[in-house]
């Protein structure tokens, strides 16, 4: 979706100012938000792509005025309500007023470390041969989906070159809404900065993105 999270090339937000020795968390409550998000994701009520979609679909004014973990918390509350796991009053007060809704899985302390150390790989068996190979020139499709996508807005309609092929992976655009994993080939595609930003771009600059095959057409 063309949401507030897709800021590439946008003006008015000032320079990126890295924080020296930035801590993993800036406040204790952020640790709890991350733990809650991981625990609820483990239930299988939604998936990783669904979580991203929930964050990206927050109203732009809310998204841009929220900190990183505030965005996570706001999206988590949105998912909990949408899936009937709690009522608005329960979310607002933090007090349960009805029996808990049964979920498929519960994350417990004894399985937490081995489960998350094993990761959640998204690579899958391809459904067809790869359409592109390194060196192929491609054009990112012009698309404005109302749902989740991983194709940045600033590369749409631009010409790039395939640099690497990474196998087939879960396709986020459908997986976010439980419409199937639909494995798609994933590529590293490079774009010349001047093609993206025009003559004001850094001379000789390049931008690389991870692009799924359905996002690309042959140039």
Q: Determine contact, residues 164/151, Cβ cutoff 8 Å.
A: no
Q: Per-residue pLDDT tens for 54-96? A: 999 999 999 999 999 999 999 999 999 999 999 999 999 999 9
CATH topology (fold) of 123-218:
SH3 type barrels. (2.30.30)
* CATH number of the structural domain 28-118: 1.10.472.20
Listed by start position, the domains of the chain span 28-118, 123-218
pLDDT value of position 9:
83
Can you name the residues that pair with 160 across neighbouring β-strands?
Answer: 138
Q: Per-residue pLDDT tens for 100-116? A: 999 999 999 999 999 99
pTM: 0.92
Q: Are strands 137-140 and 123-124 parallel, antiparallel or unpaired?
A: unpaired
Q: What are phi and psi of 58, to 5 degrees?
A: -65, 145
């Amino acid at each position: 979706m063309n949401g507030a999270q897709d800021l590439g090339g946008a003006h008015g937000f000032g320079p990126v100012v890295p924080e020296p020795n930035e801590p993993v968390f800036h406040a204790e409550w952020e640790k709890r938000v991350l733990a809650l998000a991981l625990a609820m994701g483990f239930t299988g009520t939604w998936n990783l792509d669904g979580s991203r979609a929930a964050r990206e679909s927050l109203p732009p004014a809310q998204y841009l005025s929220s900190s990183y973990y505030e965005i996570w918390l706001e999206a988590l509350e949105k998912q909990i309500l949408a899936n009937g796991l709690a009522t608005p009053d329960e979310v607002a007060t933090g007090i349960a007023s009805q029996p808990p809704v049964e979920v498929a899985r519960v994350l417990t302390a004894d399985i937490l470390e081995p489960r998350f150390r094993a990761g959640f790989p998204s690579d899958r068996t391809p459904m067809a041969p790869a359409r592109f190979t390194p060196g192929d020139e491609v054009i990112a499709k012009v698309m404005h989906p109302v749902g989740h996508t991983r194709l940045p807005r600033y590369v749409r309609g631009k010409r790039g070159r395939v640099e690497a092929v990474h196998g087939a992976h879960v396709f986020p655009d459908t997986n976010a809404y439980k419409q199937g994993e639909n494995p798609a080939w994933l590529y590293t595609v490079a774009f010349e900065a001047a093609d993206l930003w025009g003559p004001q771009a850094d001379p000789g600059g390049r931008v690389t993105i991870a692009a799924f095959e359905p996002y690309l057409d042959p140039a």
